[in-house]
Amino acid sequence: MSDKSPLILAVDTKEIDRAKELISATRESVSIFKLGLEFFLAHGPKGVRDLKEAVGDFDLFLDLKLHDIPNTVASACKSVRDLKPRFLTVHASGGGEMIAAAAQELPETSITAVTVLTSLDTAALNALGMNAEIENLCSEMARNATSHGARSIVSSPQEVKMLRATLPSHIELITPGVRPSGSLSHDQKRVMTPHEAIVAGANYVVIGRPITGAANPAQAAREIVASL
């Protein structure tokens, strides 16, 4: 499917009916929908199939953030193959072999490596024995992931410019942590507007609550797309 916009909607709910409502309401301006652990652990692959059957096919960003030994990750990938996810997330910290195993198992899917979680700051990383600067860590993780078959990277908007300058141009950059100007930042820190993130080099922005929590999600999505 061709993209209607660079906006990916985070459908963060475990209620199937709510997910249907959100997708139906916003699909005139959004063509990629992110379903994560909350939905997937509650409903599994069948829930995703039921959703697609109810609202019509859509491009799926399956945010499972896999992180395990290569053999287990490959088997997990096999379990979701028939959902044909366009994007599937794995943790870059799982290492190159793990990422290669996922990419080999799902050649049609853009394996998306999550670099440093935006919830971790320098102190939290130091507590784990990781003493590198966040930007360096993110850069090394992204380089390693893409050289092992990841075709897209999730990072905070702060790292997008550096990643765009250092990674091959075919690697797609996806960033959450964006907020339209004037809207609440919720628990997201160091936010950028969607427009700023795209100017910095992001291919896609992932947005949830500013749309899912709006009185009129269709209008909120339209306004964000218009701002890009």
**Catalytic residue positions, numbered:** 65
Draw the binding track, 156-195, toward ligand C5P (x: CB under 6 A; -: no contact). --------------------xx--------x-x-------
d(CA 190, CA 133): 16
Query: Least Å distance between CB 190 and ligand C5P?
Result: 11
154 binds ligand C5P (CB under 6 A): yes
- What region, left, alpha or beta, does residue 78 occupy, with left being phi > 0 and alpha being psi -120 to 50 degrees? alpha
Query: Least Å distance between CB 185 and ligand C5P?
Result: 8
Report CA torsion sign: 199, 12, 122, 102.
negative
If we measure between CA atoms, which residue out of 91, 87, 64 comes closest to residue 76?
A: 64
Of 100 and 113, nearer to ligand C5P (C-beta) is 113
Choices 71-79, 137-145, 205-213, 220-228 (CB under 6 A): range interacting with ligand C5P? 205-213
Rg (CA), the chain: 17
Residue identified by tokens 């990277």 is 153
Query: Least Å distance between CB 71 and ligand C5P?
Result: 26
118 binds ligand C5P (CB under 6 A): yes
6 binds ligand C5P (CB under 6 A): no
**Beta-carbon contacts of residue 214 (< 8 Å; ≥ 6 apart):** 220
CA distances from 196 to 21, 94, 179, 204 (A): 29, 30, 10, 12
197 binds ligand C5P (CB under 6 A): no
22 binds ligand C5P (CB under 6 A): no
- Give contact residues for ligand C5P (rule: CB under 6 A): 10, 12, 36, 117-118, 154, 176-177, 186, 188, 206-209
